[in-house]
Structure 1
Amino acid sequence: MDLNPPKQQLEADESIVEVSIIMPVYNASCWLDECLQAILSQDFTGSMELSVFDDASTDESIKVLEAWREKLGARGISMLISGHKSAQPRGVGYAKNRAISQSHGKYFCFQDADDVMLPQRVRLQYEAVLCHQTSLIGCKVQRLPEGSTERYTRWINNLTQEQLTTQVFTSHGPTVIMPTWFCSKKWFQEVGSFDEGGKGVPEDLLFFYQSLRQGGGLARVDRCLLVYRYHEEATTHSVTEETIWKLRVDFLQERVLSCWENFTIWNAGKQGRKLYRSLSRTNRNKVKAFCDVDENKIQKGFYTYEDAKERPKPKVSIVHYKDASAPFIICVKLDMTAGSLEENLCSLQLKEGVDYYHFN
């Protein structure tokens, strides 16, 4: 199925399109009217197009999209719609890449079909990207239903500009979350395309890390510009924790641990030990101690890596955090200790991104 406008028309329009809204679609008919109305209501005065790729929807998504073509056209927003009717969807990465390949904008605004952009989104992120040509630009969000994923939403919205970079190893995923991405076409092409591995592949995190590897920046418009919907059918639920864990460990070793001579793992419990076991032998040998606040763990005195191939089996001491020395990898979940973790870190007068990084 190819519902694109004629090639001649696209070539004529190509030079004047400032922003392409990139939208993969899969069985999104119940969300699309609200999503498209929000695109229609943007206060951006430059040229826009909506580039959609339908990933084998079995509902009325295409019908709903086509019903909006005339309304969007009257507003000056052209629609590019293509897709396939295979028995199975090919995944979000595949759909995004196809939507991008048919688009003509100088800048990309990524939009999930189940989310709703506020009227200022395109304008404010466009203004930001003009100053950050090699960055992924995000924004604050409103979670719907209200109160769902409360800690995650608070984390998204409260990160400082510095923490967009320092907290890229945390389990929450990209610090600039995919549904808010805005970037230049030139930078996207420099980084490369999304992974097309399909269901269970975190294509956003893979691209995010690759962008950082190539020197890309991160920035955020500090206003709520997107209603970010939570529901059980969201594709993010198909990605396993173990897949994300491995990607994070590998990136941490590459970007941080390779530069440190030694370090302390803050948490002698399950998560800290799991990190230790996940490290390469070289980086395990750099771990000088675990630290904790739990007296039972501290009194035990050490952790033995029973499954290690080395003989004798590695033993790592466990000390109170006040007796430990930087740098640290923090394996305690943020916003889960009634502020005690944050107070303890503050008491040591440490600098995030220099003396410690959060991993959980």
Structure 2
Amino acid sequence: MSRPRVSVLLPVRDEEPFLGECLESLSAQTLPDFEVIAVDDGSTDATPGILEAHARADSRFRVLRQEPAGMVAASERARAEARAPLLARMDADDVALPERLELQVAAIEEEGLAAVGGRVEYFPEPTDGLRAYADWLNSLVTVEAALRDLWVECPLPGPGLTARAELVSYRDHGWPEDYDLILRIWEAGGSFRNVDALVHRWRDHPERLTRTQPAYTLDAFRRCKIHFLRRTLLAGGRAAVVWGGGPTGKAFARELLAQGTPLAAFVEVDPRKLGKWIHGAPVVPVERAGDFPGSLALGAVSGSEGRARVRALAAGLGIVEGRDFVAVA
């Protein structure tokens, strides 16, 4: 049996209302040479029957069953059975656009990328926050843009990414497993971006894991970011300077201190905060941001406009983004 070009990992639990549309979208891919490994994670609804019926109709689909162990364990079970040099992830309540795999495989093979995502749209009725997130994600269509915003949020859509198999594994550390994967790929020197085409329709509904599981809260994202920053840009006891003394900056400061990173200062433009102390660190004006040589600046302000302002201020002081400064959110 020849190896397929892509193995799609599809963990599933109790997705009866949406699963059929997901499976049909995979069968309709313009890239014909792929396999889908669906792992039923202890479903109690009609999911197993839907999977088996589709596998009988399309021989590219394989179905495995296990006792309930969680989506990370189900993804790892699928990965262990995968045969292709490239692995794609898919969520059972979402829809893949027909050219998704074809575009992503071409980008990886032609550009030497480690991983690739693509543009997304939420449906059926996305909130303003989800629209803003999709707009941000959809702007990251170059390697440079994805790297620049690596610490803002996961720069590739987790259920819409494809990556080289040797780089992929999923871990449960109490934070988003897809972000954990992308940060490990970056740490290993891999590059990634989103293809500039709509490849994934992300279904929003009350039972989505991102709405119900603690691993996807803002606190969990912050723990993940600081963990990886401490392994890389904050390694060796490097101190942090937090730009922004608002709620975002204070939350990052608390997490930095909780994980053992020294906090040198806060940088603020609000004159009412200057001269005060937050979490044991002085609040200083932008003009004094250079008083802390060797530190890493974290631009901890919310919103794209706020990040743009902080980036401009840091650049004006000669602070190099990606080495001595990162934007976080």
TM-score (normalised: structure 2): 0.85
**Structure 2 partner of 1:321:** 286
**Structure 1 partner of 2:253:** 276
Percent identity, aligned pairs only, is 25
Give 3-state SS (helix, strand or coil) of 1:296's partner: coil
Tell me if the contact between 1:169 and 1:251 (Cα under 8 Å) persists in the aligned partners.
Answer: no
Deviation of 1:293 after TM superposition, in Å, equals 2.6
**Structure 2 partner of 1:179:** 159
**Structure 2 partner of 1:331:** 300
Give 3-state SS (helix, strand or coil) of 1:104's partner: coil
Give 3-state SS (helix, strand or coil) of 2:38's partner: strand
Letter in 1 for 2:25: A
Deviation of 1:99 after TM superposition, in Å, equals 1.3
Q: Distance in 1 between matches of 2:300 and 2:81?
A: 43
**Structure 1 partner of 2:241:** 264
Q: For the structure 1 residues 345 and 169, does the alpha-carbon distance in structure 2 shift closer, same or farther, using more than 3 Å as the test?
A: closer
Q: Report how many residues are paired.
A: 315
Deviation of 1:118 after TM superposition, in Å, equals 0.7
Letter in 1 for 2:102: R
Q: Distance in 1 between matches of 2:314 and 2:138?
A: 26
Aligned pairs (5 A) from 1:60-79: 60-73=46-59, 78-79=60-61
**Structure 2 partner of 1:6:** none
**Structure 2 partner of 1:167:** 149
Task: Indicate yes or no: 2:197 matched with 1:223.
Answer: yes
Of 255-264 and 214-223, deviating more is: 255-264
Q: Distance in 2 between matches of 1:103 and 1:261?
A: 40
Q: Give the superposed CA RMSD.
A: 2.6
Deviation of 1:139 after TM superposition, in Å, equals 0.8
Runs of 4+ displaced beyond 6 Å? none
Letter in 2 for 1:158: S
Tell me if the contact between 1:96 and 1:194 (Cα under 8 Å) persists in the aligned partners.
Answer: yes
Q: Distance in 2 between matches of 1:279 and 1:146?
A: 36
**Structure 1 partner of 2:133:** 152
Q: For the structure 1 residues 37 and 322, does the alpha-carbon distance in structure 2 shift closer, same or farther, using more than 3 Å as the test?
A: same
Deviations 1:106-127 (A, max 9, x none): 2212111111111111111111
Q: Distance in 1 between matches of 2:298 and 2:310?
A: 14
Pick the aligned partner of 1:110 from 79, 89, 101: 89
TM-score (normalised: structure 1): 0.78
Pick the aligned partner of 2:73 from 73, 91, 94: 94
Deviations 1:227-283 (A, max 9, x none): 111222112230243333222112122222237966531112333233334335974
**Structure 2 partner of 1:195:** 171
Which structure 1 segments of 5+ residues have no match? 1-12, 306-313
Tell me if the contact between 2:121 and 2:200 (Cα under 8 Å) persists in the aligned partners.
Answer: yes
**Structure 2 partner of 1:127:** 106
Pick the aligned partner of 1:246 from 199, 216, 223: 223
Q: For the structure 1 residues 205 and 344, does the alpha-carbon distance in structure 2 shift closer, same or farther, using more than 3 Å as the test?
A: closer
Letter in 2 for 1:253: R
Deviation of 1:59 after TM superposition, in Å, equals 0.8
Give 3-state SS (helix, strand or coil) of 2:110's partner: coil
Tell me if the contact between 1:135 and 1:219 (Cα under 8 Å) persists in the aligned partners.
Answer: no
**Structure 1 partner of 2:207:** 233
